[in-house]
């Protein structure tokens, strides 16, 4: 009888533990846009060296990175290996909500007027903005 009650208590404790662990997940819910964020597209020579190294390590597969440096926040988005030159990336939106900063980018293919080189390229964009202490959501 004692073994049966002991097992029930252990099962009850395990069930309570599982319920509390599941409740610890942080969720970023989309709320209304508070404001658009001003940003500049960072030229290659102005990218912090540490961020440039992180990009180089991940450029073939694609990436989404954030990097803070001296009160500024850098957001980098790469689209992996492409077979030709001529690709560009458009920043469609960068805005702040109550819970997060959202960035939306789009990969644009080579235009018909552009001279295309048949070599592998790694298109990416790095934007610099003011430091905001919120989660970053890449879309």
Residue 6 — very low, low, confident or very high, per pLDDT cuts 50/70/90? Answer: low
Asked, for residue 63, whether it belongs to a domain, the answer is yes
Asked, for residue 6, whether it belongs to a domain, the answer is no
Answer yes or no: is pLDDT of 2 > 80.
no
Residue 133 phi/psi, 5° resolution?
-90, 75
Asked, for residue 72, whether it belongs to a domain, the answer is yes
Residue 84 phi/psi, 5° resolution?
-140, 175
pLDDT tens figures, 53-89? 999 999 999 999 999 999 999 999 999 999 999 999 9
Strand 40-41: give its sheet, edge to edge: 40-41, 124-130, 72-78, 63-69
Q: Tell how strand 88-97 and strand 63-69 pair up.
A: unpaired
Asked, for residue 11, whether it belongs to a domain, the answer is no
Asked, for residue 128, whether it belongs to a domain, the answer is yes
Asked, for residue 10, whether it belongs to a domain, the answer is no
Answer yes or no: is pLDDT of 17 > 50.
no
Total tally of structural domains belonging to the chain:
1
Domain carrying residue 52:
29-138
Asked, for residue 24, whether it belongs to a domain, the answer is no
Cα 132 from chain centre: 14
Asked, for residue 17, whether it belongs to a domain, the answer is no
Answer yes or no: is pLDDT of 33 > 50.
yes
Average pLDDT, the chain: 85
């Amino acid at each position: 009888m004692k073994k049966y009650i002991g097992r029930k208590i252990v099962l009850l404790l395990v069930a309570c533990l599982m319920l509390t662990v599941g409740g610890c997940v942080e969720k970023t819910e989309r709320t209304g846009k508070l404001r658009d964020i001003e940003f500049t597209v960072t030229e290659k020579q102005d990218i912090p060296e540490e961020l440039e190294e992180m990009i180089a390590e991940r450029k073939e597969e694609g990436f989404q990175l954030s990097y803070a440096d001296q009160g500024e926040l850098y957001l980098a988005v790469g689209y992996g290996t492409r077979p030709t030159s001529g690709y560009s990336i458009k920043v469609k939106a960068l805005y702040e909500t109550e819970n997060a900063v959202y960035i939306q980018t789009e990969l644009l293919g080579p235009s018909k007027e552009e001279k295309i080189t048949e070599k592998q390229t790694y298109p990416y964009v790095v934007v610099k903005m003011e430091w905001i202490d919120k989660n970053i959501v890449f879309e």
